[in-house]
Structure 1
Protein backbone atom coordinates (compact mmCIF):
# COMPACT_ATOMS: atom_id res chain seq x y z
CA UNK A 1 0.00 0.00 0.00
CA UNK A 2 1.25 3.54 -0.71
CA UNK A 3 2.64 5.46 2.25
CA UNK A 4 4.37 8.81 2.70
CA UNK A 5 7.00 9.00 5.43
CA UNK A 6 6.26 11.70 7.99
CA UNK A 7 7.91 12.38 11.35
CA UNK A 8 7.30 9.33 13.51
CA UNK A 9 4.70 7.68 11.26
CA UNK A 10 3.99 6.44 7.76
CA UNK A 11 0.89 8.09 6.27
CA UNK A 12 -1.27 6.02 3.93
CA UNK A 13 -2.81 7.85 0.99
CA UNK A 14 -4.77 7.23 -2.19
CA UNK A 15 -5.42 9.36 -5.25
CA UNK A 16 -7.75 9.55 -8.22
CA UNK A 17 -8.01 11.73 -11.32
CA UNK A 18 -5.70 14.20 -12.98
CA UNK A 19 -5.46 17.97 -12.98
CA UNK A 20 -4.73 20.54 -10.29
CA UNK A 21 -4.35 18.69 -6.96
CA UNK A 22 -6.89 18.73 -4.13
CA UNK A 23 -5.77 17.46 -0.73
CA UNK A 24 -8.63 16.30 1.53
CA UNK A 25 -8.02 16.16 5.31
CA UNK A 26 -10.57 14.16 7.31
CA UNK A 27 -12.26 14.83 10.62
CA UNK A 28 -11.74 13.12 13.98
CA UNK A 29 -14.87 10.95 13.79
CA UNK A 30 -14.22 9.69 10.26
CA UNK A 31 -11.32 8.78 8.00
CA UNK A 32 -10.21 9.13 4.39
CA UNK A 33 -13.36 7.29 3.24
CA UNK A 34 -15.60 10.21 4.24
CA UNK A 35 -14.50 12.06 1.09
CA UNK A 36 -15.78 9.47 -1.40
CA UNK A 37 -18.62 11.69 -2.67
CA UNK A 38 -16.13 14.51 -3.21
CA UNK A 39 -13.50 12.30 -4.86
CA UNK A 40 -16.02 10.87 -7.33
CA UNK A 41 -17.18 14.37 -8.24
CA UNK A 42 -13.90 16.28 -8.34
CA UNK A 43 -11.67 13.55 -9.82
CA UNK A 44 -13.32 14.15 -13.18
CA UNK A 45 -11.27 17.35 -13.45
CA UNK A 46 -8.79 17.31 -10.55
CA UNK A 47 -6.13 15.12 -8.99
CA UNK A 48 -7.73 14.15 -5.67
CA UNK A 49 -5.63 12.96 -2.75
CA UNK A 50 -7.05 11.58 0.48
CA UNK A 51 -5.08 10.14 3.36
CA UNK A 52 -5.60 8.55 6.75
CA UNK A 53 -4.31 10.64 9.63
CA UNK A 54 -1.75 9.10 11.97
CA UNK A 55 -3.62 6.92 14.42
CA UNK A 56 -6.05 5.81 11.69
CA UNK A 57 -5.12 2.57 9.90
CA UNK A 58 -3.88 1.88 7.30
CA UNK A 59 -1.60 4.75 8.43
CA UNK A 60 0.64 3.96 11.37
CA UNK A 61 -0.70 4.15 14.93
CA UNK A 62 2.17 5.45 17.07
CA UNK A 63 2.05 4.39 20.71
CA UNK A 64 4.13 7.37 21.85
CA UNK A 65 1.73 10.15 22.96
CA UNK A 66 4.29 12.80 22.02
CA UNK A 67 3.83 11.86 18.34
CA UNK A 68 0.33 13.35 18.21
CA UNK A 69 -0.79 16.97 18.01
CA UNK A 70 -1.49 19.90 15.73
CA UNK A 71 2.12 20.20 14.57
CA UNK A 72 2.12 16.60 13.36
CA UNK A 73 -1.25 17.08 11.66
CA UNK A 74 0.14 19.88 9.50
CA UNK A 75 3.43 18.05 9.00
CA UNK A 76 1.62 14.96 7.75
CA UNK A 77 -0.29 16.98 5.14
CA UNK A 78 2.97 18.51 3.94
CA UNK A 79 4.66 15.08 3.90
CA UNK A 80 1.96 13.63 1.64
CA UNK A 81 2.20 16.52 -0.82
CA UNK A 82 5.99 16.45 -0.92
CA UNK A 83 6.04 12.67 -1.32
CA UNK A 84 3.81 13.08 -4.38
CA UNK A 85 5.90 15.93 -5.77
CA UNK A 86 3.06 18.43 -5.41
CA UNK A 87 4.13 22.04 -4.91
CA UNK A 88 0.65 23.58 -4.47
CA UNK A 89 -2.84 22.23 -3.92
CA UNK A 90 -6.35 23.18 -3.00
CA UNK A 91 -6.64 22.08 0.66
CA UNK A 92 -10.04 20.94 1.94
CA UNK A 93 -10.57 19.82 5.53
CA UNK A 94 -13.47 18.93 7.79
CA UNK A 95 -13.56 19.63 11.54
CA UNK A 96 -10.19 18.38 12.87
CA UNK A 97 -9.07 18.50 9.24
CA UNK A 98 -10.52 21.99 8.88
CA UNK A 99 -8.45 23.13 11.85
CA UNK A 100 -5.38 21.56 10.25
CA UNK A 101 -6.14 23.26 6.92
CA UNK A 102 -6.19 26.71 8.54
CA UNK A 103 -2.90 26.04 10.32
CA UNK A 104 -1.51 24.71 7.02
CA UNK A 105 -2.42 28.02 5.38
CA UNK A 106 -0.69 29.98 8.13
CA UNK A 107 2.51 27.92 8.06
CA UNK A 108 2.74 26.97 4.39
CA UNK A 109 0.82 29.57 2.37
CA UNK A 110 3.04 28.97 -0.65
CA UNK A 111 1.71 25.40 -0.85
CA UNK A 112 -1.99 26.33 -0.71
CA UNK A 113 -3.77 27.46 -3.85
CA UNK A 114 -6.79 27.93 -1.61
CA UNK A 115 -8.33 26.59 1.59
CA UNK A 116 -11.76 25.14 2.39
CA UNK A 117 -11.99 24.71 6.19
CA UNK A 118 -15.39 23.08 6.84
CA UNK A 119 -16.91 22.66 10.29
CA UNK A 120 -13.78 23.99 11.97
CA UNK A 121 -13.50 25.55 15.41
CA UNK A 122 -15.12 23.42 18.10
CA UNK A 123 -13.56 24.18 21.47
CA UNK A 124 -11.96 27.41 20.28
CA UNK A 125 -14.24 30.01 21.92
CA UNK A 126 -12.61 30.99 25.20
CA UNK A 127 -15.76 30.29 27.19
CA UNK A 128 -15.77 26.69 25.91
CA UNK A 129 -12.09 25.85 25.93
CA UNK A 130 -11.59 24.49 29.46
CA UNK A 131 -14.63 22.21 29.30
CA UNK A 132 -13.71 21.07 25.79
CA UNK A 133 -10.18 20.13 26.83
CA UNK A 134 -11.40 18.24 29.90
CA UNK A 135 -13.94 16.34 27.80
CA UNK A 136 -11.28 15.43 25.23
CA UNK A 137 -8.96 14.08 27.92
CA UNK A 138 -11.71 11.94 29.46
CA UNK A 139 -13.03 10.67 26.13
CA UNK A 140 -9.52 9.91 24.91
CA UNK A 141 -8.91 7.72 27.94
CA UNK A 142 -12.17 5.85 27.29
CA UNK A 143 -11.26 5.25 23.66
CA UNK A 144 -7.83 3.92 24.58
CA UNK A 145 -9.41 1.61 27.17
CA UNK A 146 -12.42 0.27 25.29
CA UNK A 147 -12.39 1.37 21.65
CA UNK A 148 -15.36 2.44 19.55
CA UNK A 149 -17.85 -0.42 19.20
CA UNK A 150 -20.92 0.11 21.35
CA UNK A 151 -21.71 3.10 23.55
CA UNK A 152 -19.14 5.61 22.32
CA UNK A 153 -20.03 5.16 18.67
CA UNK A 154 -23.76 5.35 19.34
CA UNK A 155 -23.32 8.47 21.45
CA UNK A 156 -21.31 10.11 18.69
CA UNK A 157 -23.71 9.20 15.90
CA UNK A 158 -26.72 10.50 17.86
CA UNK A 159 -25.07 13.72 19.07
CA UNK A 160 -26.89 17.03 18.46
CA UNK A 161 -24.65 17.98 15.51
CA UNK A 162 -24.65 14.54 13.84
CA UNK A 163 -28.23 13.34 14.18
CA UNK A 164 -29.05 15.45 11.10
CA UNK A 165 -27.26 12.91 8.89
CA UNK A 166 -29.40 10.07 10.25
CA UNK A 167 -32.59 12.05 9.63
CA UNK A 168 -31.62 13.03 6.07
CA UNK A 169 -29.80 9.91 4.91
CA UNK A 170 -30.25 6.82 7.12
CA UNK A 171 -28.27 4.68 4.69
CA UNK A 172 -25.38 7.14 4.66
CA UNK A 173 -25.53 7.40 8.46
CA UNK A 174 -25.34 3.60 8.78
CA UNK A 175 -22.26 3.55 6.56
CA UNK A 176 -20.71 6.31 8.66
CA UNK A 177 -21.39 4.35 11.85
CA UNK A 178 -19.82 1.22 10.38
CA UNK A 179 -16.67 3.15 9.53
CA UNK A 180 -16.62 4.81 12.96
CA UNK A 181 -16.76 1.46 14.76
CA UNK A 182 -13.74 0.25 12.77
CA UNK A 183 -11.38 2.97 14.00
CA UNK A 184 -8.43 2.26 16.27
CA UNK A 185 -9.27 2.92 19.90
CA UNK A 186 -5.67 3.73 20.89
CA UNK A 187 -5.05 5.80 17.75
CA UNK A 188 -8.19 7.91 18.06
CA UNK A 189 -7.83 8.09 21.83
CA UNK A 190 -4.33 9.54 21.57
CA UNK A 191 -5.53 11.87 18.83
CA UNK A 192 -8.40 13.04 21.03
CA UNK A 193 -6.14 13.67 24.02
CA UNK A 194 -3.14 15.25 22.33
CA UNK A 195 -4.48 16.87 19.15
CA UNK A 196 -8.09 17.73 19.89
CA UNK A 197 -7.59 18.35 23.58
CA UNK A 198 -4.29 20.22 23.44
CA UNK A 199 -4.60 22.25 20.26
CA UNK A 200 -4.60 26.03 20.18
CA UNK A 201 -7.69 28.14 20.20
CA UNK A 202 -8.16 29.55 16.72
CA UNK A 203 -8.90 32.88 18.41
CA UNK A 204 -5.27 32.96 19.60
CA UNK A 205 -4.14 33.16 15.98
CA UNK A 206 -5.84 36.48 15.28
CA UNK A 207 -2.68 38.50 14.47
CA UNK A 208 -1.47 35.87 12.01
CA UNK A 209 -4.93 35.32 10.52
CA UNK A 210 -5.28 39.02 9.72
CA UNK A 211 -2.23 38.78 7.45
CA UNK A 212 -3.05 35.47 5.73
CA UNK A 213 -4.17 36.18 2.17
CA UNK A 214 -4.70 32.62 0.89
CA UNK A 215 -8.16 32.48 -0.76
CA UNK A 216 -10.43 30.77 1.77
CA UNK A 217 -13.98 29.44 1.73
CA UNK A 218 -15.28 28.83 5.24
CA UNK A 219 -18.09 26.25 5.28
CA UNK A 220 -20.34 25.45 8.22
CA UNK A 221 -23.80 24.06 8.89
CA UNK A 222 -26.25 26.36 10.63
CA UNK A 223 -26.92 23.63 13.24
CA UNK A 224 -23.24 22.99 13.92
CA UNK A 225 -23.49 25.08 17.08
CA UNK A 226 -19.96 24.55 18.49
CA UNK A 227 -18.42 25.92 15.27
CA UNK A 228 -20.59 28.88 14.29
CA UNK A 229 -18.99 31.48 16.59
CA UNK A 230 -15.50 30.56 15.40
CA UNK A 231 -16.50 30.76 11.73
CA UNK A 232 -18.02 34.20 12.20
CA UNK A 233 -14.77 35.27 13.88
CA UNK A 234 -12.76 33.84 10.98
CA UNK A 235 -14.91 35.69 8.47
CA UNK A 236 -14.19 38.92 10.35
CA UNK A 237 -10.43 38.53 10.56
CA UNK A 238 -9.41 36.66 7.40
CA UNK A 239 -8.94 39.29 4.68
CA UNK A 240 -9.58 36.96 1.74
CA UNK A 241 -12.33 34.69 3.06
CA UNK A 242 -15.95 33.99 2.23
CA UNK A 243 -18.44 32.22 4.49
CA UNK A 244 -20.88 29.63 3.13
CA UNK A 245 -23.49 28.38 5.60
CA UNK A 246 -25.64 25.35 4.74
CA UNK A 247 -29.18 25.54 6.17
CA UNK A 248 -30.54 22.84 8.50
CA UNK A 249 -27.16 21.12 8.49
CA UNK A 250 -24.96 19.80 11.27
CA UNK A 251 -21.30 18.93 11.54
CA UNK A 252 -20.59 16.45 8.73
CA UNK A 253 -21.54 18.98 6.09
CA UNK A 254 -19.96 17.11 3.16
CA UNK A 255 -21.85 13.91 4.06
CA UNK A 256 -25.17 15.58 4.81
CA UNK A 257 -25.30 17.84 1.76
CA UNK A 258 -22.80 16.44 -0.76
CA UNK A 259 -24.38 18.05 -3.83
CA UNK A 260 -24.58 21.51 -2.26
CA UNK A 261 -21.11 21.19 -0.75
CA UNK A 262 -19.55 20.04 -4.01
CA UNK A 263 -21.27 22.81 -5.94
CA UNK A 264 -20.15 25.55 -3.54
CA UNK A 265 -16.57 24.26 -3.46
CA UNK A 266 -16.42 23.81 -7.25
CA UNK A 267 -17.60 27.39 -7.79
CA UNK A 268 -15.01 28.60 -5.31
CA UNK A 269 -12.23 26.67 -7.04
CA UNK A 270 -13.30 28.08 -10.40
CA UNK A 271 -13.29 31.65 -9.10
CA UNK A 272 -9.84 31.20 -7.57
CA UNK A 273 -8.43 29.57 -10.68
CA UNK A 274 -9.71 32.42 -12.87
CA UNK A 275 -7.99 34.94 -10.63
CA UNK A 276 -11.29 36.49 -9.55
CA UNK A 277 -11.16 35.68 -5.80
CA UNK A 278 -9.10 38.69 -4.86
CA UNK A 279 -8.58 41.13 -2.04
CA UNK A 280 -9.70 44.08 -4.16
Structure 2
Protein backbone atom coordinates (compact mmCIF):
# COMPACT_ATOMS: atom_id res chain seq x y z
CA UNK A 1 0.00 0.00 0.00
CA UNK A 2 1.36 3.47 -0.87
CA UNK A 3 2.21 5.81 2.01
CA UNK A 4 3.70 9.27 2.40
CA UNK A 5 5.67 10.20 5.53
CA UNK A 6 5.03 13.45 7.41
CA UNK A 7 7.75 15.49 9.17
CA UNK A 8 6.62 13.98 12.51
CA UNK A 9 6.83 10.42 11.11
CA UNK A 10 3.13 9.74 10.52
CA UNK A 11 2.34 7.51 7.53
CA UNK A 12 -0.48 8.77 5.29
CA UNK A 13 -2.16 6.36 2.90
CA UNK A 14 -2.90 7.75 -0.57
CA UNK A 15 -4.29 6.70 -3.92
CA UNK A 16 -3.71 8.28 -7.34
CA UNK A 17 -4.90 7.89 -10.91
CA UNK A 18 -4.69 9.60 -14.28
CA UNK A 19 -2.27 12.00 -15.92
CA UNK A 20 -2.11 15.75 -16.34
CA UNK A 21 -2.17 18.73 -14.04
CA UNK A 22 -2.48 17.36 -10.48
CA UNK A 23 -5.54 17.74 -8.27
CA UNK A 24 -5.35 16.66 -4.62
CA UNK A 25 -8.57 16.03 -2.65
CA UNK A 26 -8.69 16.63 1.12
CA UNK A 27 -11.55 14.91 2.94
CA UNK A 28 -13.94 16.04 5.66
CA UNK A 29 -14.19 14.83 9.26
CA UNK A 30 -17.08 12.49 8.48
CA UNK A 31 -15.40 11.05 5.39
CA UNK A 32 -12.05 9.58 4.40
CA UNK A 33 -10.08 8.98 1.21
CA UNK A 34 -13.00 6.96 -0.19
CA UNK A 35 -15.30 9.99 -0.04
CA UNK A 36 -13.77 11.42 -3.21
CA UNK A 37 -14.46 8.43 -5.47
CA UNK A 38 -16.93 10.30 -7.74
CA UNK A 39 -14.30 13.01 -8.23
CA UNK A 40 -11.40 10.60 -8.67
CA UNK A 41 -13.25 8.81 -11.47
CA UNK A 42 -14.37 12.02 -13.16
CA UNK A 43 -11.20 14.09 -13.01
CA UNK A 44 -8.77 11.22 -13.70
CA UNK A 45 -9.90 11.48 -17.32
CA UNK A 46 -7.87 14.69 -17.71
CA UNK A 47 -5.80 15.12 -14.55
CA UNK A 48 -3.48 13.32 -12.20
CA UNK A 49 -5.72 12.95 -9.15
CA UNK A 50 -4.71 12.14 -5.57
CA UNK A 51 -6.80 11.31 -2.52
CA UNK A 52 -5.39 10.44 0.90
CA UNK A 53 -6.45 9.60 4.41
CA UNK A 54 -5.78 12.23 7.05
CA UNK A 55 -3.88 11.20 10.17
CA UNK A 56 -6.30 9.33 12.40
CA UNK A 57 -8.07 7.70 9.44
CA UNK A 58 -6.92 4.14 8.63
CA UNK A 59 -5.14 2.90 6.65
CA UNK A 60 -3.21 6.07 7.56
CA UNK A 61 -1.58 6.04 11.01
CA UNK A 62 -3.64 6.85 14.09
CA UNK A 63 -1.46 8.78 16.58
CA UNK A 64 -2.66 8.21 20.13
CA UNK A 65 -1.60 11.65 21.40
CA UNK A 66 -4.15 14.41 20.74
CA UNK A 67 -1.29 16.88 20.36
CA UNK A 68 -0.32 15.10 17.14
CA UNK A 69 -3.48 16.62 15.60
CA UNK A 70 -3.89 20.30 14.71
CA UNK A 71 -4.91 22.65 11.93
CA UNK A 72 -1.27 23.31 11.10
CA UNK A 73 -0.44 19.61 10.96
CA UNK A 74 -3.36 19.15 8.56
CA UNK A 75 -1.67 21.68 6.26
CA UNK A 76 1.71 19.99 6.66
CA UNK A 77 0.10 16.67 5.73
CA UNK A 78 -1.10 18.05 2.38
CA UNK A 79 2.43 19.26 1.70
CA UNK A 80 3.91 15.90 2.79
CA UNK A 81 1.78 14.03 0.24
CA UNK A 82 2.71 16.51 -2.50
CA UNK A 83 6.39 16.25 -1.59
CA UNK A 84 6.30 12.47 -1.59
CA UNK A 85 4.77 12.48 -5.07
CA UNK A 86 7.25 15.14 -6.22
CA UNK A 87 4.43 17.54 -7.08
CA UNK A 88 5.46 21.18 -6.82
CA UNK A 89 1.99 22.68 -7.25
CA UNK A 90 -1.51 21.25 -7.46
CA UNK A 91 -5.13 22.27 -7.55
CA UNK A 92 -6.26 21.64 -3.96
CA UNK A 93 -9.89 20.65 -3.30
CA UNK A 94 -11.14 20.28 0.26
CA UNK A 95 -14.49 19.68 1.95
CA UNK A 96 -15.34 20.89 5.46
CA UNK A 97 -12.35 19.94 7.65
CA UNK A 98 -10.49 19.47 4.37
CA UNK A 99 -11.78 22.85 3.19
CA UNK A 100 -10.26 24.49 6.25
CA UNK A 101 -6.97 22.70 5.59
CA UNK A 102 -7.12 23.87 1.97
CA UNK A 103 -7.71 27.47 3.01
CA UNK A 104 -4.91 27.32 5.57
CA UNK A 105 -2.60 25.94 2.90
CA UNK A 106 -3.38 29.12 0.98
CA UNK A 107 -2.36 31.08 4.06
CA UNK A 108 0.79 29.11 4.96
CA UNK A 109 2.07 27.65 1.69
CA UNK A 110 0.37 29.43 -1.23
CA UNK A 111 3.27 28.57 -3.51
CA UNK A 112 2.13 24.90 -3.47
CA UNK A 113 -1.38 25.65 -4.80
CA UNK A 114 -2.46 26.28 -8.37
CA UNK A 115 -5.94 26.93 -7.00
CA UNK A 116 -8.04 26.37 -3.89
CA UNK A 117 -11.54 24.89 -3.78
CA UNK A 118 -12.93 25.46 -0.30
CA UNK A 119 -16.21 23.56 0.05
CA UNK A 120 -18.51 23.40 3.07
CA UNK A 121 -16.09 25.28 5.34
CA UNK A 122 -17.53 27.36 8.15
CA UNK A 123 -18.29 25.33 11.27
CA UNK A 124 -16.88 27.10 14.30
CA UNK A 125 -16.15 30.27 12.32
CA UNK A 126 -19.23 32.23 13.41
CA UNK A 127 -18.27 34.22 16.48
CA UNK A 128 -21.73 33.85 18.02
CA UNK A 129 -21.37 30.05 18.02
CA UNK A 130 -17.64 29.81 18.75
CA UNK A 131 -17.97 28.53 22.33
CA UNK A 132 -20.87 26.23 21.46
CA UNK A 133 -18.92 24.71 18.57
CA UNK A 134 -15.93 24.03 20.81
CA UNK A 135 -18.13 22.40 23.46
CA UNK A 136 -20.11 20.27 21.01
CA UNK A 137 -16.88 19.19 19.28
CA UNK A 138 -15.55 17.91 22.59
CA UNK A 139 -18.87 16.15 23.23
CA UNK A 140 -18.70 14.47 19.80
CA UNK A 141 -15.18 13.30 20.64
CA UNK A 142 -16.41 11.87 23.93
CA UNK A 143 -19.23 10.01 22.18
CA UNK A 144 -16.83 8.44 19.67
CA UNK A 145 -14.83 7.16 22.64
CA UNK A 146 -17.87 6.08 24.65
CA UNK A 147 -20.00 4.45 21.93
CA UNK A 148 -17.39 3.66 19.30
CA UNK A 149 -17.54 4.78 15.69
CA UNK A 150 -19.88 2.01 14.53
CA UNK A 151 -22.65 3.04 16.95
CA UNK A 152 -22.13 6.80 17.07
CA UNK A 153 -22.06 7.00 13.25
CA UNK A 154 -25.79 6.21 13.36
CA UNK A 155 -26.33 9.50 15.20
CA UNK A 156 -23.66 11.69 13.59
CA UNK A 157 -24.71 10.75 10.04
CA UNK A 158 -28.20 12.17 10.68
CA UNK A 159 -27.08 15.72 11.52
CA UNK A 160 -29.12 18.70 10.33
CA UNK A 161 -26.92 19.18 7.27
CA UNK A 162 -26.70 15.45 6.40
CA UNK A 163 -30.37 14.55 6.02
CA UNK A 164 -30.53 16.32 2.64
CA UNK A 165 -28.14 13.67 1.32
CA UNK A 166 -30.25 10.89 2.82
CA UNK A 167 -33.42 12.27 1.25
CA UNK A 168 -31.92 12.65 -2.23
CA UNK A 169 -29.76 9.54 -2.40
CA UNK A 170 -30.55 6.93 0.28
CA UNK A 171 -28.02 4.43 -1.06
CA UNK A 172 -25.26 7.02 -1.32
CA UNK A 173 -26.02 8.29 2.18
CA UNK A 174 -26.02 4.73 3.56
CA UNK A 175 -22.59 4.13 2.04
CA UNK A 176 -21.36 7.34 3.69
CA UNK A 177 -22.83 6.32 7.06
CA UNK A 178 -21.39 2.80 6.81
CA UNK A 179 -17.92 4.11 6.01
CA UNK A 180 -18.16 6.59 8.89
CA UNK A 181 -18.89 3.66 11.18
CA UNK A 182 -15.66 2.01 10.02
CA UNK A 183 -13.50 4.90 11.24
CA UNK A 184 -11.09 4.52 14.12
CA UNK A 185 -12.76 5.78 17.30
CA UNK A 186 -9.52 7.12 18.80
CA UNK A 187 -8.56 8.81 15.55
CA UNK A 188 -11.99 10.43 15.25
CA UNK A 189 -11.96 11.64 18.86
CA UNK A 190 -8.44 13.05 18.58
CA UNK A 191 -9.23 14.73 15.27
CA UNK A 192 -12.31 16.36 16.73
CA UNK A 193 -10.40 17.60 19.79
CA UNK A 194 -7.12 18.50 18.14
CA UNK A 195 -8.29 19.99 14.85
CA UNK A 196 -11.95 20.97 15.00
CA UNK A 197 -12.19 22.23 18.57
CA UNK A 198 -8.90 24.17 18.45
CA UNK A 199 -8.90 25.82 15.04
CA UNK A 200 -9.23 29.61 14.95
CA UNK A 201 -12.32 31.37 13.63
CA UNK A 202 -12.02 32.51 10.03
CA UNK A 203 -13.10 35.96 11.13
CA UNK A 204 -10.04 36.24 13.36
CA UNK A 205 -7.88 35.64 10.27
CA UNK A 206 -9.49 38.31 8.09
CA UNK A 207 -6.32 40.35 7.53
CA UNK A 208 -4.36 37.23 6.51
CA UNK A 209 -7.14 35.85 4.32
CA UNK A 210 -7.38 39.16 2.47
CA UNK A 211 -3.78 38.68 1.30
CA UNK A 212 -4.35 35.26 -0.31
CA UNK A 213 -4.02 35.79 -4.06
CA UNK A 214 -4.43 32.14 -5.09
CA UNK A 215 -7.52 31.64 -7.32
CA UNK A 216 -10.23 30.33 -5.03
CA UNK A 217 -13.67 28.78 -5.42
CA UNK A 218 -15.91 28.60 -2.35
CA UNK A 219 -18.83 26.15 -2.55
CA UNK A 220 -21.63 25.85 0.02
CA UNK A 221 -25.03 24.22 0.24
CA UNK A 222 -27.94 26.55 0.97
CA UNK A 223 -29.13 24.26 3.78
CA UNK A 224 -25.68 24.03 5.34
CA UNK A 225 -26.59 26.94 7.57
CA UNK A 226 -23.32 27.42 9.44
CA UNK A 227 -21.31 27.60 6.22
CA UNK A 228 -23.42 30.16 4.34
CA UNK A 229 -22.28 33.34 6.07
CA UNK A 230 -18.62 32.22 6.33
CA UNK A 231 -18.80 31.48 2.58
CA UNK A 232 -19.99 34.99 1.84
CA UNK A 233 -17.28 36.33 4.16
CA UNK A 234 -14.61 34.49 2.18
CA UNK A 235 -16.05 35.76 -1.11
CA UNK A 236 -15.93 39.35 0.12
CA UNK A 237 -12.50 39.04 1.70
CA UNK A 238 -10.36 37.07 -0.76
CA UNK A 239 -9.25 38.98 -3.87
CA UNK A 240 -9.67 36.18 -6.44
CA UNK A 241 -12.61 34.28 -4.94
CA UNK A 242 -15.82 33.03 -6.51
CA UNK A 243 -18.81 31.72 -4.57
CA UNK A 244 -21.18 28.95 -5.65
CA UNK A 245 -24.28 28.07 -3.62
CA UNK A 246 -25.99 24.76 -4.38
CA UNK A 247 -29.78 24.83 -3.86
CA UNK A 248 -31.54 22.45 -1.47
CA UNK A 249 -28.17 21.01 -0.51
CA UNK A 250 -26.51 20.20 2.80
CA UNK A 251 -22.94 19.59 3.92
CA UNK A 252 -21.84 16.48 2.04
CA UNK A 253 -21.60 18.46 -1.21
CA UNK A 254 -19.40 16.31 -3.41
CA UNK A 255 -21.41 13.16 -2.73
CA UNK A 256 -24.85 14.72 -2.47
CA UNK A 257 -24.55 16.60 -5.78
CA UNK A 258 -21.57 15.01 -7.58
CA UNK A 259 -22.50 16.18 -11.08
CA UNK A 260 -22.96 19.81 -10.03
CA UNK A 261 -19.84 19.73 -7.90
CA UNK A 262 -17.70 18.20 -10.64
CA UNK A 263 -18.99 20.67 -13.21
CA UNK A 264 -18.25 23.65 -10.97
CA UNK A 265 -14.78 22.48 -10.04
CA UNK A 266 -13.97 21.44 -13.60
CA UNK A 267 -14.95 24.83 -15.02
CA UNK A 268 -13.03 26.60 -12.26
CA UNK A 269 -9.87 24.59 -12.87
CA UNK A 270 -10.17 25.17 -16.62
CA UNK A 271 -10.47 28.93 -16.12
CA UNK A 272 -7.49 28.98 -13.77
CA UNK A 273 -5.36 27.05 -16.23
CA UNK A 274 -6.41 29.42 -19.03
CA UNK A 275 -5.37 32.40 -16.91
CA UNK A 276 -8.97 33.63 -16.90
CA UNK A 277 -9.68 33.56 -13.15
CA UNK A 278 -8.27 36.81 -11.82
CA UNK A 279 -8.98 39.12 -8.93
CA UNK A 280 -12.23 41.06 -8.84
CA UNK A 281 -12.40 43.98 -11.26
CA UNK A 282 -11.85 47.13 -9.16
CA UNK A 283 -14.73 48.77 -11.03
CA UNK A 284 -17.11 46.28 -9.38
CA UNK A 285 -17.27 48.35 -6.21
CA UNK A 286 -19.48 46.80 -3.49
CA UNK A 287 -20.53 50.28 -2.37
CA UNK A 288 -22.01 51.21 -5.74
CA UNK A 289 -25.67 50.52 -6.50
CA UNK A 290 -26.01 52.32 -9.85
CA UNK A 291 -23.50 54.39 -11.82
CA UNK A 292 -24.54 57.97 -12.45
CA UNK A 293 -21.40 59.68 -13.81
> Aligning the two structures, in what range does the TM-score lie when normalised by the shorter sequence?
over 0.9
Q: What is the alpha-carbon distance in structure 1 between the residues aligned to residue 9 and residue 226 of structure 2? A: 32
Q: What is the alpha-carbon distance in structure 2 between the residues aligned to residue 155 and residue 143 of structure 1? A: 11
Identify the residue that residue 219 of structure 1 maps to in structure 2: 219
* 3-state SS in 2 of match to 1:100: helix
Q: What is the alpha-carbon distance in structure 2 between the residues aligned to residue 122 and residue 66 of structure 1? A: 21
Is residue 2:122 matched to residue 1:131?
no
1:154 shift after superposition: 1.8
When the two structures are superposed, what TM-score results if normalisation uses the length of structure 1? Answer: 0.98
Q: What is the alpha-carbon distance in structure 1 between the residues aligned to residue 107 and residue 83 of structure 2? A: 18
CA deviations 1:165-223 (Å, max 9, x no partner) are: 11100110111111011000000100001100011111111001111110000000000
When the two chains are superposed, the root-mean-square deviation of aligned CA atoms in Å is 0.8
* 3-state SS in 1 of match to 2:57: coil
Q: What is the alpha-carbon distance in structure 1 between the residues aligned to residue 5 and residue 119 of structure 2? A: 26
Q: What is the alpha-carbon distance in structure 2 between the residues aligned to residue 22 and residue 203 of structure 1? A: 28
Larger radius of gyration: 2
Identify the residue that residue 193 of structure 2 maps to in structure 1: 193
* 3-state SS in 2 of match to 1:255: helix
Q: What is the alpha-carbon distance in structure 2 between the residues aligned to residue 224 and residue 139 of structure 1? A: 19
Q: What is the alpha-carbon distance in structure 2 between the residues aligned to residue 3 and residue 82 of structure 1? A: 12
Stretches of structure 1 lacking an aligned partner (at least 5 in a row): none
1:146 shift after superposition: 2.8
Kindly indicate whether the alpha-carbon contact (under 8 Å) linking 1:8 and 1:62 is maintained by their aligned counterparts in 2. Answer: no
CA deviations 1:16-42 (Å, max 9, x no partner) are: 101000010000001010100001000
Kindly indicate whether the alpha-carbon contact (under 8 Å) linking 1:213 and 1:240 is maintained by their aligned counterparts in 2. Answer: yes
Is residue 2:121 matched to residue 1:84?
no
When the two structures are superposed, what TM-score results if normalisation uses the length of structure 2? Answer: 0.94
Is residue 2:177 matched to residue 1:184?
no
1:145 shift after superposition: 3.1
Identify the residue that residue 122 of structure 2 maps to in structure 1: 121
CA deviations 1:94-134 (Å, max 9, x no partner) are: 00000000000111111100000100011111101100001
State which drifts further: 138-147 or 60-69: 138-147
Identify the residue that residue 254 of structure 2 maps to in structure 1: 254
Runs of 4+ deviating beyond 3 Å: none
Kindly indicate whether the alpha-carbon contact (under 8 Å) linking 1:144 and 1:190 is maintained by their aligned counterparts in 2. Answer: no
Superposed, which structure 2 residues align to 1:1-150 within 5 Å? 1-6=1-6, 7-150=8-151
* 3-state SS in 1 of match to 2:150: coil
